[in-house]
Amino acid sequence: MSPSTYPDVMDKLVSLCKRRGFIFQSSEIYGGTGSVWDYGPLGVELKRNIKDRWWNAMVRARDDIEGLDAAILMHPRVWEASGHVAGFTDPLIDCRNCKKRFRADDPKIKGTPGTPDAQCPACGMKGTLSEPRMFNLMFKTFMGPVEDSAAVVYLRPETAQGIYVNFLNVQQSTRQKVPFGIAQIGKAFRNEITPGNFIFRTREFEQMEMQFFVDPEGDHMQWFEYWKAQRMAWHRALGLAESRLLFHQHTKEELAHYARAAFDIQFDFGGTLGFQEIEGVHHRGDFDLSRHQEYSGKKLEYFDQPNNRRYVPFVVETSVGADRTTLAVLVNGYREESVEGEAEGRTVLGIHPSLAPIKAGVFPLVKKDGMPEFAEKLSAELRKSFPVFYDESGAIGRRYRRQDEVGTPFCITVDGQTMEDGTVTVRDRDTLAQERVAADRVGGIIAERLQA
């Protein structure tokens, strides 16, 4: 991986996101919760817009994909079948003296853990560090009144298993025929030892996953190629720069033993973080359904009626992080630029208009001569169609800047001429061009541009 040619804007984004209400640290007044974040008023709308775009593209616009919303708490056997109980682990080292734990690759550890010369980085004792032991990344809890091993359930570490265990329920209730898919948006949880990079790797996150079921004797590799292309096109349509997106093919070492092929879609987050996975498109063969057949004792076969054939389908999975995509959209859109003829520059969130939390700012030029009343009425009218923000405080230039940095694509100003002829100015966030249009046409014009 070569270092990124894009600048590192993460610290600036974290600050902007807090100040303007995109993303707050969770439980901040209590000192925060480790690597968990809350979406504020603008962040929740941005993320909703991204999730809705995915749902519309993957479910509502197609007749071969069904939606699902499976629960976070699942039967514990699910995670034995999936391999998470045995294999979803990181190596950790214990100190027998002070009982602290460390990642096996913690650079503060001196010497070889498990030998007499290794020194604990916390209490300083020698020879007390254990050999590395595997630590499971699933959060566990207890269901029912008794906290014993029989009551253990896990917070799902991925949404995909909810789709697999419901494969026949969905297929039979919808009468879908293979090939078809099941799609789901939902929270997942991983007790990461070293989370970080803002909302890139968090302990609580949201996935948008689709499992596409195909005939193992049919054109499954073509479907794999189809989904690779579809998903890359989706990210580009979000407005992510082509130069920041690439496919990373899993090497033999990276590839899961059951996988037939796997590509990640990576996005260049800039700075030292650089290219990182935002989505995986994986050909998983019949591993998942076969394992659930084995562990549940229930058949998960598809019956191909015309050919009188029963089989366990192959699965092509597309799995994208809603939080990572939100971060990619923010990073991709963030820019600082100088403005001709002005001493101060501006910060712009150049995000796709369809994703912008606020579609239009509405301003009276000054707080008199009926302009606030006109602007407030216009604002209320436009709010019936899309989110708008009414602002009458401060100089007009400052109000434009406030909308620029939260990505509002249009600003509408009510001025002296409005009071004479009913026209307003519409300013474009990116070109800074202002055009004068009749106030009663402005809603239609903006709605049209949001579709484009």
Site for a copy of itself in 194-223 (CB under 8 A): 203-204
Per-residue interface string for the shown chain with a copy of itself, residues 124-163, x marking contact by CB under 8 A: -----------x---xxxxxxxx------x-x------x-
Which of 292, 324, 399, 427 is in the footprint of a copy of itself by CB under 8 A?
292
Kindly tell me which of 66 and 158 has the beta carbon lying closer to a copy of itself: 66
In whole angstroms, give the CA distance from residue 403 to residue 429: 8
403 touches a copy of itself (CB under 8 A): no
The H or E element that residue 117 is part of is none
Residue 74 or 437 with smaller CB distance to a copy of itself: 74
107 is a contact residue toward a copy of itself (CB under 8 A): no
Q: Among 1, 2, 31, 149, which residue interacts with a copy of itself (rule: CB under 8 A)? A: 31
Query: For the purposes of burial, counting CB atoms within 10 Å of the CB of 165, is it exposed (0-12), middle (13-18) or buried (19 or more)?
Result: buried
Whichever of 76 and 127 has its CB closer to a copy of itself, that residue is: 76
Q: Which amino acid is at 311?
A: Y
Q: Which is nearer to a copy of itself, 36 or 221 (CB)?
A: 36
Candidates 10, 70, 356, 411; binder of a copy of itself (CB under 8 A) is 70
Q: In a 10 Å sphere around its CB, with 0-12 CB exposed, 13-18 middle and 19+ buried, how is residue 437 labelled?
A: middle
- Selected binder of a copy of itself within 58, 78, 265, 446 (CB under 8 A): 78
Site residues for a copy of itself, window 224-283 (CB under 8 A)? none
Stretch that binds a copy of itself, among 2-10, 21-29, 122-130, 424-432 (CB under 8 A): 21-29
- Return the residue of 3, 7, 41, 87 that touches a copy of itself, per CB under 8 A: 41
- Asked if 32 touches a copy of itself (CB under 8 A), the answer is yes
Q: 220 exposed, middle or buried (CB, 10 Å; 0-12, 13-18, 19+)? A: buried
Residue among 4, 97, 191, 347 that touches a copy of itself (CB under 8 A): 191
Question: What is the three-class DSSP state of 418?
Answer: helix
- Determine the 3-state secondary structure of 316 from DSSP: strand
290 in contact with a copy of itself (CB under 8 A): no
- CB of residue 257 vs a copy of itself: minimum separation in angstroms? 24
Task: Please list every residue from 47 through 66 that binds a copy of itself, using CB under 8 A.
Answer: 47, 60-61, 63, 66
Stretch that binds a copy of itself, among 41-49, 235-243, 364-372, 409-417 (CB under 8 A): 41-49
User: Rounded to the nearest whole angstrom, what is the least distance from the CB of residue 98 to a copy of itself in the complex?
Assistant: 11
Cβ atoms of 200 and 273 closer than 8 Å: yes
Task: Note whether 260 and 285 are within 8 A (CB).
Answer: yes
Confirm if 11 and 198 have CB atoms less than 8 A apart: no
Nearest-approach distance from CB 279 to a copy of itself, in angstroms: 21
Which of these ranges, 6-14, 302-310, 378-386, 415-423, lies near a copy of itself under the rule CB under 8 A?
A: 378-386
Please return the burial class of 175, using the count of CB atoms within 10 Å of its CB with bins 0-12, 13-18 and 19+: exposed
> Any contact of residue 298 with a copy of itself (CB under 8 A)?
yes
Q: What angle do CA 31, 92, 85 make, to 5 degrees?
A: 95
Give the single-character DSSP code of 301. Answer: -
Question: Contact 104/120 with Cβ under 8 angstroms?
Answer: no
Retrieve residue 37's tokens: 């974040």
Which residue from 1, 71, 343, 452 is in contact with a copy of itself, where contact means CB under 8 A?
71
Give the CA radius of gyration of the chain: 26
The strand pair at 314-321 and 204-214 is best described as antiparallel
CB of 283 to a copy of itself, least distance (A): 24
- Cα torsion for 8, 14, 16, 22, to the nearest 10°? 130
